[in-house]
């Protein structure tokens, strides 16, 4: 018996990294998973590797029409949506005084607006179905505290934290739970992408993590699985840090 047997989940940004780790784990735990991303080739390969329980669908999380299409298809062909993992996001480093508005708004549209659109689209379907559900929003430790050069990113991750709490209040009576997950320094391609494709030596940061190592995508996926499953049936509006203890102190400040 898997902890997600019979459940249908949509995971955004799921072609690689944290989203892909969650997709693999969800399928292993019995879920049917819709892998949403704009990285079509990688996403299709992942879905094929996971077999009949995984489907890839192109999903630009900042596009309302994409959300409508993906959710409508899930309802029509899979019977509904039980779990949404709002994982898609981008990161850019820039000093506050140097950041172009276009760059700022791109981060807002993907990270913040994308999460809003996902919650809105899926909650409507969940309410109509009347079976409850779980929404897991991926924020960050930058949604709990600030970090230099991440004005836009932190703004969106704080917004996700706030939206999660409001949604939990509104959707609780409908038996829909909404929680946020706050990863710390996780080994994914997102930091490399933010650095223009260049590798970054993260070992100095790793030395400042209380648990003594960098996080892996699988570390985050296990917490997401818990929140998606009925094992967390009394958890809503919560903040779950997956950070190796970083937020217990000011571990990264003045690095």
Which tens digits make up the pLDDT trace of 122-148? Answer: 999 999 999 999 999 999 999 999 999
Radius of gyration in angstroms for the set of CA atoms belonging to the chain, rounded to a whole number: 17
For residue 240, give both structure tokens.
Answer: 């779950």
CA distance 8 to 129: 13
DSSP string, 126-157: HHHHTS-EEEEEE--GGGTS--TTBHHHHHHH
Return the C-alpha torsion angle 106, 112, 114, 115, nearest 10. 160
Percentage of the residues of the chain whose pLDDT score is greater than 70: 91
Q: For 8-248, CATH number?
A: 3.40.50.720
At 187 the pLDDT is: 81
At 251 the pLDDT is: 47
Reported confidence tier of residue 206, pLDDT bands at 50, 70, 90:
confident
What's the chain's average pLDDT? 93
Is the pLDDT at 255 greater than 60, yes or no?
A: no
Contacts for 140 with CB less than 8 Å, ≥ 6 apart: 153, 154, 157, 182, 183
- Report domain extents, the chain: 8-248
Percentage of the residues of the chain whose pLDDT score is greater than 90: 83
At 79 the pLDDT is: 97
Please pick, among 104, 149, 153, 234, the residue that the annotation labels catalytic: 153
Closest CA to 57 of 33, 79, 75: 33
Q: Is 153 a residue of the active site?
A: yes
Residues 30-71: tens digit of each pLDDT? 999 999 999 999 999 999 999 999 999 999 999 999 999 999
Residues 83-102: tens digit of each pLDDT? 999 999 999 999 999 999 99
Residues 226-239: tens digit of each pLDDT? 999 999 999 999 99
CA distance 235 to 14: 24
Mean pLDDT for the stretch of residues 173-179 = 98
Question: Strand 54-58 vs strand 83-86: parallel, antiparallel, or unpaired?
Answer: unpaired
pTM tops 0.85, yes or no: yes
């Amino acid at each position: 018996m898997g902890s997600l047997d019979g459940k249908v989940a949509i995971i955004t940004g799921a072609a690689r990294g944290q989203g892909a780790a969650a997709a693999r784990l969800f399928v292993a735990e019995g879920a049917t998973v819709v892998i949403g991303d704009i990285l079509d080739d990688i996403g299709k390969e992942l879905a094929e590797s996971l077999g009949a329980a995984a489907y890839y669908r192109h999903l630009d999380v900042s596009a309302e029409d994409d959300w409508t299409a993906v959710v409508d298809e899930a309802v029509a062909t899979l019977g509904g949506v039980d779990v949404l993992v709002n994982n898609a996001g981008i990161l850019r480093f820039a000093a506050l005084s140097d950041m172009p508005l276009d760059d700022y708004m791109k981060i807002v549209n993907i990270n913040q607006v994308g999460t809003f659109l996902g919650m809105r689209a899926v909650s409507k379907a969940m309410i109509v179905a009347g079976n409850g559900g779980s929404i897991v929003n991926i924020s960050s430790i930058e949604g709990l505290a600030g970090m230099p050069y991440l004005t836009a990113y932190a703004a969106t991750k704080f917004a996700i934290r706030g939206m999660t709490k409001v949604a939990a209040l509104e959707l609780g009576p409908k038996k829909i739970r909404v929680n946020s997950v706050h990863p710390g320094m996780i080994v994914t391609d997102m930091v490399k992408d933010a650095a223009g494709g260049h590798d970054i030596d993260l070992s100095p940061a790793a030395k400042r993590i209380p648990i003594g190592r960098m996080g892996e995508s699988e570390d985050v996926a296990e917490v997401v699985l818990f929140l998606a499953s009925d094992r967390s049936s009394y958890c809503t509006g919560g903040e779950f840090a997956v950070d190796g203890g970083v937020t217990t102190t000011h571990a990264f400040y003045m690095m």
